[in-house]
A and B are shown apart, each in its own frame.
Chain A
Amino acid sequence: MCLSIPGKVISIENDIATVSIGGSEVQAGLQLLDDVSIGDYVLVHSGFALQLISEEEAAQTLALIRELEDLSDDDDIPIQ
């Protein structure tokens, strides 16, 4: 379900990554993901990394919101 938090992988030992979340560290199993490297951001849920976080998509989402400022009320919104 739901409580999943993004964090940065700071070390990997066997199938377990140490993930930094705001400076505190938690362990996350890597059984559900391939190709995780140190420095990657992953989504952590109940002790497992569920997904890599796409930096590009994250920035794109923010950029799209900022663009809304320039639209008038009746404009169609260019979505993603």
Chain B
Amino acid sequence: MEQNRHIRLGHGSGGKLTHDLVTGLFLRYFDNEILAQQGDSGLFPLDGSGMAGKMAFSTDAYVVDPIFFPGGNIGSLAVSGTVNDIAVTGADPHYLSAAFILEEGFPVDRLEEIVREMADVAREAGVRIIAGDTKVVNKGKCDKVFITTAGVGFLEDRLAHIAGGEQVRPGDRILINGYAGDHGIAILGERESLTFTSPVHSDAACLNGLIRDITDHHEVHFMRDATRGGVATVLAELAGLSRRPGANKMGLSIDETAIPIREEVRGICEVFGYDPLYMANEGKVVMVVPGDQAEAVLERMRRHPLGRDSALFGTVVEEHPGKVVLHTEIGGRRLLDMLAGEQLPRIC
């Protein structure tokens, strides 16, 4: 029963409502086999070009409020977010486009700060911004600045299985490249209505270098960046793969204490009633690798500047197919599912 035929904030939270909107509306009308894969990028063959491999194509809109936050701004996010969406499919990101929607009256100095940061981040990641667009709207018709980036990358055939996750099987291990929930807390801390201060910075970063380092040396069965909806949502999506026709029947067994979460993040989550596993990240990849390579991958990840706090925190198992079972810090068990709606601060 659809209680309400209007778009609510929860439709953009990356959780269940977003999922329903995408499958129930966009996929229904845009119906094609590439989109139906529902990966972070669309993967398409270079028909007729004579080139091997595939192209990865991705786009993302950035409307983050506040536009400046500890550890980055809307511009750095717009670059790293799209770079990561391409990189987690196994592809090498090369080119981006950037479209700006600017609110009348927005200071040019601030815009320059944003653009300079975009250029820096892109340069570091080895991608170039080669196309763009600018629109200005009347005051109040948008909030300061919105940015949409799109990007393309090249995907080698040997990595083409990662996005679909069809090689994920029981015995595989699950890793993350560091602390979860930092970005969510950094953003929250800048919002006026919740009065708290926190030393936590956003983890926004381009992950293509780290990912390349791993895929060059090891086998990877699946990966996804844990953005909106957090680590929990990626895990729920991963477990959901086993519901596809012909897929391996598998569930996930997760060790809650092994997921790195900063004390400062945990504290704020306790205060406002958030679950850190659902807090957004902008520089975290959840990776599934064969069990016998897990330790080696972990070691390599930890040698990378963006992976110093990497951890192994879960295993793909034959039991409870389609479900994510979390082993809690006290030794209890519970199920982990997608975020139902946007997390709200609460007192109860």
Q: Which residues of A contact B (CB under 8 A)?
A: 1-3, 5, 7, 21-27, 44-47
Contacts and interface: CB of A to CB of B under 8 A. Distances in A.
B348 A24 contact: no
A26 B348 CA distance: 17
Given A22-B263, A44-B271, A3 B346 contact: yes
Nearest to A47: B195
A26 B195 CA distance: 7
A27 B198 CA distance: 12
B264 A24 contact: yes
A21 B267 contact: yes
Given A5-B270, A5-B271, A45-B347, A25 B196 contact: yes
Given A1-B347, A2-B348, A24 B273 contact: no
Interface of B: 185, 189, 195-200, 262-268, 270-273, 346-348
Given A3-B347, A3-B348, A23 B199 contact: yes
Contacts of A2: 347-348
A2 B263 CA distance: 21
Contacts, number: 57
Given A1-B347, A3-B348, A23-B264, 6 more contacts: A2-B347, A3-B273, A23-B198, A24-B199, A26-B195, A27-B195
B276 to A, nearest CB: 11
B157 to A, nearest CB: 47
21 contacts: A2-B348, A3-B271, A3-B346, A7-B267, A21-B267, A21-B268, A22-B263, A22-B264, A22-B268, A23-B198, A23-B199, A23-B263, A23-B264, A24-B185, A24-B189, A24-B196, A24-B265, A24-B268, A24-B271, A27-B195, A44-B271
Contacts of B270: 3, 5, 21-22
Contact of B198 (A7, A24, A44, A46): A24
B198 A25 contact: yes
Nearest to A26: B196
Contacts of B197: 24-25
A16 to B, nearest CB: 10
A44 B272 CA distance: 11
